[in-house]
Amino acid sequence: MYFVVKVTSGQERIAATMLQSRASKVSLPIYSIMVVEGMRGYIIVEAEDEVAARAFVTKERNIRGILPKPLSSEEVNKLLEVKTYAQEIEKGDTVEFSSGPFKGYKAKVLKVDDSKDEITVELMDVVVPIPITTKTSTAKVLQKAPKNS
């Protein structure tokens, strides 16, 4: 069974790491701990039953409680589905920022980190080019890098 655990917003990964280290020390039927992107203030714990889940998370820092209704496997699978972006940003592409402090600026992509959903870019039309790392979602592709055949 999957249980939604309320945690301090922004502390999801820290809470999951603390629970993971605790899981190896206690003999409770806990099977997995998940941090889902986009679910701020919540993590998911897979446990045998609600009693085990509640016993596991009580008295832990950054944990605010468990929601009363467990999630079904179908609901968890929907949350964990890999969402593909309409655009794939690759090294060498020219992008334009659509939000954030660099909105309207154009940049050349130096590096793409898919695991963190980040790109490292170098701003164009600036006196001193400085590499900047930002979220992929803040940029849109203006021009694809030429393919070498």
Its pTM stands at 0.56
Q: 136: domain range?
A: 94-143
Is residue 114's pLDDT more than 90?
no
Asked if residue 102 and residue 62 are part of one domain, the reply reads no
Instruction: Round the average pLDDT of the chain to a whole number and report it.
Output: 86
Tell me the CATH number at 103.
2.30.30.30
- Pairing state of beta strands 63-66 and 131-135? unpaired
Asked if residue 105 and residue 73 are part of one domain, the reply reads no
Neighbours of 82 (CB within 10 A): 4
106 touches 142 (CB < 8 A): yes
Tens digit of each residue's pLDDT (9 = 90 or more) over 61-108 = 889 989 989 998 888 888 877 655 446 888 999 999 888 888 889 999
147 touches 97 (CB < 8 A): no
Look at residue 89 and tell me if it is in a domain.
Answer: no
Tell me the CATH number at 73.
3.30.70.940
Asked if residue 114 and residue 56 are part of one domain, the reply reads no
Residue (of 129, 109, 127) closest to 119 by Cα position: 109
Q: Which residue has the tokens 């593909």?
A: 84
